[in-house]
Homo-oligomer: A and B are copies of this chain.
Amino acid sequence: MFPTNAWYVACTPDEIDGKPLGRMICGERIVFYRGEGGRVAAVEDFCPHRGAPLSLGYVENGQLVCGYHGLVMGCDGQTVSMPGQRVRGFPCNRSFPVVERYGFIWVWPGDPAQANPSTIHHLEWAESSEWAYGGGLYHINCDYRLMIDNLMDLTHETYVHASSIGQKEIDEAAPRTTVEDDCVVTARHMENIMAPPFWRMALRGNNLADDVPVDRWQICRFTPPSHVLIEVGVAHAGKGGYHADPQYKASSIVVDFITPETETSIWYFWGMARNFKPDDTALTDSIREGQGKIFAEDLDMLERQQQNLLAYPERNLLKLNIDAGGVQSRRIIDRLIAAECAPAAEPVTLIGGGAA
């Protein structure tokens, strides 16, 4: 179960560079490609002729050509042409609203009439020249909500990422979760601690001493359908923490776009945006590599957790204070799913009567 009337990250531009990409999103088999004028398009990955996947074809003059018998598919799902055939009566494929923005391709797998690109959250770091971004993609066999839980409860860093970003003090600082409209925020502040290896590296990258106490923060923000952006950072202790002057801190935004493939698998777009040394591409690569290794530590845990949950469907999991971020996020998701499933309100005609 996932909200379908929502913008999900489908892929990154390099994935549709010169060739179509077949990818299942929320259970829908979709082919993504660049159509006329380089505009991104998304239609069902199913040739109306004989069912071949259109993603095995190619793009020619901004049109998607089926690699089996040459049917030319339009961005609207209507067949444009086919050698030797009249195509007017061909059945129409579904097409999906799709937008390229912020360095990602966004797709709306639900009702196209409700798709409004302006509802894609603004991502300042993706547009400003003061920021740099690097990231990657993992395929993970787990329910997308397990990944949301993971990211909204960073106490797991102490255990899963013990050698990089984890530290005992995370466990000891109780997080605080608040909900405003459809946004859940779980914040944790740790004061006067020593920075773990990743942050010592970041401090050095900012030309700051890495062997002095720091204040550290993690502010996780969930927004529907399944995006989690996390402000993270450290400042030399006593300089104001999260609000410290930039000269005393190293900070960044952990970016997590979680796109369901099926009920039990996801496309996980992860990355990090930083507002220091934005032009240092070697640093970007180095951070990407480090983050990739850290986030890979979660894969096995999440997949094995998923298998356990499937094997013990009757067991109720605990909802502790540290789980509040995930619990509140799931509550919002449930509400959105329920709204999609609800029958549209019908107009009611009252007919006056006597005994009734």
Q: Which A residues lie at the B interface, using CB under 8 A?
A: 29, 45-46, 48-53, 56-57, 65-70, 82-85, 90-91, 149, 153, 155-156, 158-160, 171-172, 174, 300-301, 304-305, 307-309, 311-312, 315-318, 320-323
Contacts and interface: CB of A to CB of B under 8 A. Distances in A.
A91 B315 CA distance: 10
A322 B70 CA distance: 12
Identify the 7 closest CB pairs spanning chains A and B, nearest first: A83-B171, A52-B305, A51-B308, A53-B304, A51-B309, A49-B318, A67-B159
B52 A174 contact: no
Given A29-B311, A90-B318, A155 B69 contact: yes
Contacts of A323: 50
A39 B45 CA distance: 50
Nearest to A309: B51
A15 B85 CA distance: 44
A49 B305 contact: no
Nearest to A90: B318
Given A50-B317, A159-B57, A301 B68 contact: yes
A305 B159 contact: no
A293 B159 CA distance: 41
A79 to B, nearest CB: 10
A91 B319 CA distance: 12
Nearest to A158: B70
Among A90, A307, A317, A321, chain B packs the most CB atoms within 10 A around the CB of A317
A304 B317 CA distance: 39
Contacts of A312: 46, 51
Contact of A156 (B48, B68, B308, B320): B68
B84 A305 contact: no
A85 B324 CA distance: 13
A45 B300 contact: no
A308 B68 contact: no
22 contacts: A46-B308, A46-B315, A48-B318, A49-B317, A51-B308, A52-B301, A52-B304, A53-B304, A53-B305, A56-B300, A56-B301, A67-B159, A67-B160, A68-B305, A69-B153, A69-B155, A69-B159, A70-B158, A70-B159, A82-B320, A83-B171, A84-B174
Given A67-B160, A69-B156, 15 more contacts: A48-B317, A50-B149, A50-B305, A51-B309, A52-B301, A52-B308, A56-B300, A68-B159, A69-B155, A69-B159, A83-B172, A84-B171, A84-B321, A90-B318, A91-B318
B51 A322 contact: no
A51 B51 CA distance: 40
A42 B74 CA distance: 52
A20 B65 CA distance: 46
